[in-house]
Structure 1
């Protein structure tokens, strides 16, 4: 194992972090977080957040793809840098998203009803589902990576879970950009 204090508690730490993260997300989306406690940014900043988040998703997609490719080539250090950068971008996305949604609520779809029903809602559902599924997977692989020596990681669940988490994360980031286009560009 490892001398890291969390090394023997990765599943429990994953569960706690996932529960807190998902509670914050659902609390913000459902309007349960007290928005009165948040500082209110100017309208132009709040209006800019969706575009910023789409850019974050696009950059994160590239970074995670680079990290995935790096590990397939055996470049552990580049993989680690890329995946931690991707995690940081994901965290930045979530902070911006939660802040805006807490103050303004979810953005309504203003396009045609047929597009909403057959394109937007299915894309949004898959995006949200994958984002929810990815949260515990990401915490798990990151906690394994941070609590063990690099040489020990191949003997853990890190590679197996990472092979599932990375493509799901990529699809979620990609669909995040599609959701942005449908909400803010197409209509």
Structure 2
């Protein structure tokens, strides 16, 4: 599939990244009016566990997509990477919804663990997630805006390889953050 954005991939990457990250920062900053969102307490309660399942599934689809392209199975690679992107979007949507309504979760463990373990892990997780947003969008836009044979002449591969590594680390650290917040403490 070829889209008319092919000559404007950096611009669309910037616009879509700003929208996605703006929504996350608005939610964390309490700037999304809660009156705009239906309050589904049963959903709010399970979102942390749901996002862990989404993270695990995303790790699986990212690895499977990476393995598929190494075998030169472009169709399978594309399917897994689209699934990974949809999982990432679902994770963000659930996260934004929950944080908008109840705010960020406070760490319940000892201050020393919070300062020397939790905050550093959380900081790296957040930093990598922020970096991944434009990398994933850029790579995806390159892929959907060009025929397959033309993708090899773009930065899709080099940016995609970086995105995959950072994405895997970010999702993995997100699971560690969940474990520290909801399992260990």
Q: TM-score interval w.r.t. the shorter chain? A: over 0.9
TM-score for the superposition, normalised by structure 1: 0.96
Quick check: 1:80 aligned with 2:74?
no
| 3-state SS of 1:55 partner | helix
Structure 1 CA distance for aligned equivalents of residues 7 and 166 of structure 2? 26
Q: Which residue in 1 is equivalent to 2:53?
A: 55
Counterparts of 1:70-149 in structure 2, within 5 Å, are 70-149=68-147
| RMSD of equivalent CA atoms | 1.1
Q: Mark the runs of 5 or more structure 2 residues left unpaired by the alignment.
A: none
Structure 1 CA distance for aligned equivalents of residues 30 and 123 of structure 2? 19
| 3-state SS of 2:109 partner | coil
Q: Are 2:2 and 2:147, in contact at CA under 8 Å, matched by a contact in 1?
A: no
Q: Where in structure 1 do 4 or more consecutive aligned residues deviate above 3 Å?
A: none
Cα deviation, 1:20-50, whole Å, max 9, x if unaligned, reads: 11110000001011111111102x3211100
Q: Mark the runs of 5 or more structure 1 residues left unpaired by the alignment.
A: none
Structure 1 CA distance for aligned equivalents of residues 3 and 48 of structure 2? 38
Quick check: 1:19 aligned with 2:18?
yes
Q: Which residue in 1 is equivalent to 2:33?
A: 34
Structure 1 CA distance for aligned equivalents of residues 49 and 2 of structure 2? 43
